[in-house]
Amino acid sequence: MSWDFSTDPDYQEQLEWMADFVRREIWPLEAIWHELGLDGLTAAIAPLQEQVKAHGLWATHLPPELGGQGMGQVKLGLMHEILGTSPIAPLAFGNAAPDSGNSEILAMAGTPEQKDRWLHPLLAGDLRSAFSMTEPNTPGSDPTQLLTRAVRAGEDWVIDGHKWFSSNGSIADFLIVMAVTSPDARPSQRASMLIVPTDTPGVEILRDVPTMEHPWEQFGGYGGHSEILYNGVRVPGEALLGAEGEGFILAQQRLGPGRIHHCMRWLGVARRAFDMMCERATYRHAHGSLLAQKQTVQNWIADSAAEMQAARLMTLHAAWVMDTQGARAARTDVALIKFYGAKVLHDVVDRALQVHGSLGYSTDLPLEQMYRFARAARIYDGPDEVHRQTVARHVLGGYEPPADEVPSEHLPTRREQARERFAHLLDAVTAND
Ligand SMILES: Cc1cc2nc3c(=O)[nH]c(=O)nc-3n(C[C@H](O)[C@H](O)[C@H](O)COP(=O)(O)OP(=O)(O)OC[C@H]3O[C@@H](n4cnc5c(N)ncnc54)[C@H](O)[C@@H]3O)c2cc1C
């Protein structure tokens, strides 16, 4: 029997190095990264990336044959908890979304030529990528309804469609596009992935959609969510990534580990908000006492600590299931943490913001930005409701309707059964009266 919550000492040392490095070198950059612009940020991060590489912590999500560590999801999760404390830390460690997930797909399904042309430069930080699946006119939560089509034209593919929320699309060198290639196949086998260089004729990046995160339209910034038209975009046959009809299988393989990383990064954000909430409670004095002495604030601190601990253990457990039994076995655990983790992030940030009053609502603190970030977590990589449905389906699979629809725990029925079964005991009691 093994049941162990410890981290091996060598890796613990690396985690401590990461925590110190992120706090010392990356947190200070956060305050000016928008002023630096994309080129300035890239230049500021470059020397940090060298230090990360020297510590053997670059692009650790990939298998060893591609220069990663093959460290497994538990270790990766612990790492992402630290990187999540800063929106720009993943850039310094070569595992920022969506490039990290896209590099996983390329590593899994790419041909040697695709790896040479796209994966290796992506890992080296020389190229940027985007994942282009969601469409404005079909539900992203049910991608079997995708309308974007890729049709064979001789040796080539011709793509027509309308996508949006392709994160980093406006700064990407190439797009991984999900398109229907076999409309008559079973829904889960209709779509394929294609690699499309952004400068291919017919790729029209309309805008970066303004969002809660970036309420004003700006084009070409890091983290923008692009709306893209694909108008007769012609790419060669070799653009197909994986087999024809394999799009959803590849997407699932990409999303499972990615969701674990998201949940651990959210815990990093939640922890930072929690620390701010506790700090505020120690000095703000109102109505005759410190906030720390008010029961509501104490409840928020205790509830947040409990919920973060629960989310952390659930997420690491999902990672452990994935490491020990594979991605398929972890499906329900991953669905569970995706909606629970998003709620914990939201609630902790919300309480921290409330404890800071108008200061929390202002842009003088990062809490309002964390709050906007938290709201999106309930939507991307599958909305909460879909993950709840997955969990409920799995749970309900273990239940059957009771005989004659009488609940199994119906007390009068159980009493009757018990009286029959234990009649001898009851008789003995009556005889003693
Ligand atoms: C910040 C951010 C980044 C993103 N990045 C990318 C990206 O890089 N690439 C990409 O392709 N996409 C990206 N997306 C899109 C994202 O994946 C989709 O928004 C998501 O899958 C939901 O699809 P939808 O927006 O079309 O909503 P819909 O599918 O229309 O769903 C709308 C709502 O319907 C309800 N609903 C749906 N299904 C059910 C159900 N089964 N039961 C009950 N209620 C249900 C839910 O409340 C859901 O929120 C991003 C989105 C955000 C917010």
CA-wise closest residue to 138 among 160, 159, 165, 163: 163
CA–centroid distance, 342 to ligand 1, in Å, is 14
Cβ distance 191 to 184 under 8 Å? no
C-beta pairs of 240-243 under 8 Å, 24+ apart in sequence: 240/157, 240/192, 240/193, 240/194, 241/105, 241/106, 241/109, 241/110, 241/114, 241/176, 241/192, 241/193, 241/194, 241/195, 242/105, 242/108, 242/109, 242/192, 242/193, 243/192
CA–centroid distance, 379 to ligand 1, in Å, is 5
Q: Indicate which residue's Cα is closest to atom 41 of ligand 1.
A: 386
Query: What angle do helix axes 331-355 and 367-377 make, rounded to 10 degrees?
Result: 150
Alpha-carbon span 144 to 378, nearest angstrom: 21
Residue by residue, pLDDT tens for the chain (433 residues) are: 778 899 999 999 999 999 999 999 999 999 998 899 888 999 999 999 999 999 999 988 887 776 677 788 999 999 999 999 999 999 999 989 899 889 989 998 999 999 999 999 998 889 999 999 999 999 999 999 999 999 999 999 999 999 999 999 999 999 999 999 999 999 999 999 999 999 999 999 999 999 998 888 889 888 899 999 999 999 999 999 999 999 999 998 878 888 999 999 999 999 999 999 999 999 999 999 999 999 999 999 999 999 999 999 999 999 999 999 988 899 999 999 999 999 999 999 999 999 999 999 999 999 999 999 999 999 999 999 999 999 999 999 999 999 999 999 999 999 999 999 999 999 999 887 7
Alpha-carbon span 217 to 207, nearest angstrom: 8
**Which atom of ligand 1 is the closest one to the Cα of 98?**
8
**Which atom of ligand 1 is the closest one to the Cα of 135?**
26
CA–centroid distance, 31 to ligand 1, in Å, is 30
Q: Indicate which residue's Cα is closest to atom 49 of ligand 1.
A: 383
Can you tell me which residue has the tokens 């969701």?
259
**Which atom of ligand 1 is the closest one to the Cα of 213?**
1
Cα 180 from chain centroid (whole Å): 25
pTM over cut 0.85: yes
pLDDT at 67: 64
Pocket-testing residue among 141, 228, 248, 371, ligand 1, by greatest number of atoms within 8 A of Cβ: 141
pLDDT at 37: 87
Q: Indicate which residue's Cα is closest to atom 23 of ligand 1.
A: 140
C-beta pairs of 58-62 under 8 Å, 24+ apart in sequence: 58/93, 58/94, 59/93, 59/94, 59/95, 59/100, 59/103, 59/123, 60/93, 60/94, 60/95, 61/95, 61/100, 61/103, 61/104, 61/257, 61/261, 62/103, 62/104, 62/107, 62/123
| Greatest pairwise CA separation for the chain in angstroms | 96
CA–centroid distance, 263 to ligand 1, in Å, is 17
CA–centroid distance, 339 to ligand 1, in Å, is 13
- What structural domains does the chain harbor? 9-110 (1.10.540.10), 129-241 (2.40.110.10), 248-396 (1.20.140.10), 403-432 (no CATH)
CA dihedral 209, 210, 216, 219 (to 10 degrees): -20
3-state helix, strand, coil in the chain (%, to 5): 55, 15, 30
Pocket-testing residue among 379, 387, 389, 393, ligand 1, by greatest number of atoms within 8 A of Cβ: 379
CA–centroid distance, 188 to ligand 1, in Å, is 18
**Pair of tokens at residue 113:** 């030529």
CA–centroid distance, 383 to ligand 1, in Å, is 5
CA–centroid distance, 135 to ligand 1, in Å, is 10
Alpha-carbon span 271 to 262, nearest angstrom: 14
Ligand 1: list residues with CB < 6 Å: 98, 131-134, 139-141, 165-167, 225, 376, 379-380, 382-383, 385-386, 389
**Which atom of ligand 1 is the closest one to the Cα of 133?**
11
CA–centroid distance, 160 to ligand 1, in Å, is 21
Q: Indicate which residue's Cα is closest to atom 11 of ligand 1.
A: 133
Q: Indicate which residue's Cα is closest to atom 44 of ligand 1.
A: 385
Residue 142's DSSP bridge partners are: none
Can you tell me which residue has the tokens 């609630």?
347
**Which atom of ligand 1 is the closest one to the Cα of 163?**
11
CA–centroid distance, 165 to ligand 1, in Å, is 10
Alpha-carbon span 216 to 224, nearest angstrom: 11
Distance set, CA 206 to CA 88, 169, 227 (Å): 26, 10, 6
Q: What is the DSSP letter of 401?
A: P
**Pair of tokens at residue 427:** 């008789």
Alpha-carbon span 134 to 138, nearest angstrom: 8
Alpha-carbon span 87 to 108, nearest angstrom: 27
Cβ distance 126 to 99 under 8 Å? no
Q: Indicate which residue's Cα is closest to atom 45 of ligand 1.
A: 385
Strand 240-241 versus strand 191-197 pairing type: antiparallel
CA–centroid distance, 338 to ligand 1, in Å, is 13
